[in-house]
Amino acid sequence: MYIQHFGLAQYPFSLTPDTRYFLKLPSHQRAFDFVVEALQDESSFTKITGEVGIGKTILCRKVLNALDALDNKYVTALIPNPVLDEESMMYAIAEELKLSFDPFESYYVLLKLISEELIRLSVLGWTTVLLIDDAQAITEESLEAIYLLTAIKKGADQPIPLQVILFGQPELDDLLQRLALHELSPVSYELARLERNDVEAYLDHRLIKAGYNGSNLFTHKAVDLISRSSNGIPRLINIIAHKALMVAFGKRDYALTDKHIKLALEDIHYVQQKKLRTPRFFST
């Protein structure tokens, strides 16, 4: 729509996580450094929490890419959707580790196969890292099964075979505080909302990454309004900025003011209210 109008190569405010757009803002960079330090300290469980849309998924992918880029050090496994029972979780982990197994294999056989592979990799000097996104949705049974994997050792002097990084919403804390899971004791970091200056840096960074090379596209008042309206949540910033660019394009404007942002917010509010008013029909 507005790509050519603003001299862009692609849409800068897509909601699809893309590590090319990862910006080393203080909170997110500290979270990344926190994860790296936790891995170096051989922490069994690391927990990164934050509100919906705060940037946990893109941080998860950034960590994954960074670990994969380190040759002969880490083997990674990613579970992006952990709404699985313990058997399905073992299947998912086995697949991520590229193990050969019968699709009808039992939970206990899979657990044994994975355990043996983790020990084998550990003996060879590799650290296996399991990253779980949307971890607040994981079942207690699956988390307990994963805990068993972190506790397996071939010998007293062997390092832990598995390190787990949980990325989740604040509800993840409730899950981990349940009596049966107290022994996990993860090291934790909470992602903070973006401050006003961070919002401006975030907007500029994404525009530049998308190919923009002109003068400041958003006025100071526009950035102020985006910051207040989004509460510093990156996903909301993306939604508002994208809608505002559409508004400016429709008016054939090349600079975005607070007026464009207000119109974008009105349109977003209208769409949300329309969805709430839309009747739902159920078949019987």
Rounded CA-CA distance 119/219 in Å is 56
Question: 195-274 architecture in CATH?
Answer: Orthogonal Bundle (1.10)
Q: Name the band, by pLDDT with cuts 50, 70 and 90, for residue 137.
A: very high
Residue carrying structure tokens 């660019």 = 245
Q: Name the band, by pLDDT with cuts 50, 70 and 90, for residue 159.
A: low
Q: Residue 270: pLDDT above 70?
A: no
Q: Residue 284: pLDDT above 70?
A: no
Per-residue pLDDT at 154:
56
Mean predicted confidence (pLDDT) in 66-91: 91
Most confident range (mean pLDDT) of 69-83, 129-143, 178-192 is 129-143
Mean predicted confidence (pLDDT) in 245-272: 92
Q: Name the band, by pLDDT with cuts 50, 70 and 90, for residue 274.
A: low
pTM of the model: 0.89
Give the other-Cβ count within 10 Å of 228's Cβ.
12
Residue whose C-alpha is closest to residue 232's, from 1, 53, 78: 53
Token reading at 57: 């998924």
**235 Cβ neighbours under 8 A, 6+ residues apart:** 15, 52, 53, 54, 55
Task: Give tens-digit pLDDT for 24-66.
Answer: 888 889 999 999 999 988 888 999 999 999 999 999 999 999 9
Strand order in the sheet with 127-132: 74-79, 127-132, 162-168, 45-49, 187-190
Q: What are the residue ranges of CATH 3.40.50.300 in the chain?
A: 26-190
Mean predicted confidence (pLDDT) in 114-142: 93
Task: Give tens-digit pLDDT for 175-220.
Answer: 888 756 666 778 999 999 999 999 999 999 999 999 999 899 999 9
Residue whose C-alpha is closest to residue 192's, from 19, 71, 8, 34: 34
Q: What are the residue ranges of CATH 1.10.8.60 in the chain?
A: 195-274
Residue whose C-alpha is closest to residue 94's, from 80, 81, 108, 77: 77
Mean predicted confidence (pLDDT) in 226-236: 96
CATH of 26-190, one of 1.20.58.2050, 3.30.930.10, 3.40.50.2000, 3.40.50.300: 3.40.50.300
Q: Residue 129: pLDDT above 80?
A: yes
